[in-house]
Amino acid sequence: MDLYFEVEGITHKKEKRLKVIFDFDKEKNIFLKSIPGARWSSTLKAWHVPDTIETRQLFRLKPPEEDIWSAEKLLQMEQFSKWLKSKRYSENTIKTYTDALKVFIHFFKHKQIAEISNEDLITFNNEYILRKQYSASYQNQVVNAIKLFFKTSEQKILDPALVHRPRREHTLPNVLSKEEVKLILEAHHNIKHKIMLSLLYACGLRCGELLALKPEHVDSKRQVLIIKQSKGKKDRIVPLSLKIIDILREYYQLYKPTTYLFEGQTKGAPYSDRSLQLILKQALEKAGINKPVTLHWLRHSYATHLLESGTNLRYIQEILGHKSSKTTEIYTHVSTYNIQNIKSPFDTL
């Protein structure tokens, strides 16, 4: 093929696709449209086609990573994934670990897994993670995946005990003021959008916890919300204010959810986290807030505001579902309640 295209492998709507970029040309346009499964994306502002061996051959690209791996490597990866599932790891953790491990093993694609050594791990850390300036948290994910994989694998040339974790970064959680939270929560007139963001803040929920809620998890008589099998496979209850119960009733009468409290366009299917992120982005634009706010900021803000109002740290730990009190104690470092009462010696000069 003599036509020039810029092609990039992507994941679009949970599918492996090839994003195709080119200067408009009638011949190129006709060629691209002739590829089965070719679609235009207004979000990507580009054409994309299925990521298959056949389409890659059309663009003279190497086969997908999965196709250049040996059958043995694929089998071991599959066995590792099954082991994680048998141990009841969450779907998110399984995906995170297998993706991280896939990157590590593919880095040594010319070696069999049994040949990978501790020296290789050091090379991978320097030549891949540090060179590409990936975060310490990503490095930690790779370490966790490698340690688990080689612990469960029969080929133990790589000693998991010698796999060092990166030094922990001591960062503070991002917190919004009550005024900023109010602007965000009042930005949407759509009651569904409004109640979703409101619940994240009013109950200190994680994004996944909100999207997993079902109508029966709302106990309006006891004024509590039941969070089932959250992080760490734990159930917990969080208090519901009368104000938020009233909004929930109004929402329920209007939308009448069936399986999940917040459903997507398909009845009975959960709302997507991508759509929820878009709701927040729109709220920030309407509120005129230019900070890089994420959904998790609302949870951080809830915990900090509770602490500043005098709520005992032990109760906050239970409400947030933290396993360790040390995780909750970080909010004492961002609370301004006591700091604002400290008089600067500058004022007495």
Of 193, 139, 127, 134, nearest in space to 164 by CA = 139
Could you confirm whether 231 is annotated as catalytic?
yes
Could you confirm whether 322 is annotated as catalytic?
yes
Give 162-178 pLDDT, tens digit per residue. 656 666 666 677 888 99
The CATH classification of domain 69-162, taken from the options 1.10.150.130, 1.10.287.130, 3.90.700.10, 1.25.40.10: 1.10.150.130
User: In the chain, what are the domain boundaries?
Assistant: 6-67, 69-162, 178-333
Give the separation between CA 347 and CA 332, rounded to whole angstroms: 25
Give the separation between CA 127 and CA 120, rounded to whole angstroms: 10
Could you confirm whether 56 is annotated as catalytic?
no
CATH architecture under which domain 178-333 falls = Orthogonal Bundle (1.10)
- Tell me: pLDDT of 38 over 50: yes
| Structure token pair of residue 317 | 């730990």
Among 97, 251, 302, 331, the one annotated catalytic: 331
The answer to whether the 69-162 and 178-333 domains have the same CATH topology is no
Could you confirm whether 236 is annotated as catalytic?
no
Among 48, 193, 299, 305, the one annotated catalytic: 299
Cα distances from 235 to residues 131, 201, 296, in angstroms, run 41, 19, 20
Q: What is the mean pLDDT of the chain?
A: 82
Give the separation between CA 171 and CA 247, rounded to whole angstroms: 35
Could you confirm whether 102 is annotated as catalytic?
no
Geometric angle at alpha carbon 303, from 302 and 309, rounded to 5°: 90
| Structure token pair of residue 262 | 């917040």
Confidence label for 343 from pLDDT (cuts 50, 70 and 90): low
Give 55-101 pLDDT, tens digit per residue. 877 877 765 554 445 667 778 888 888 888 888 887 888 888 888 88
The pLDDT value recorded for residue 127 is 83
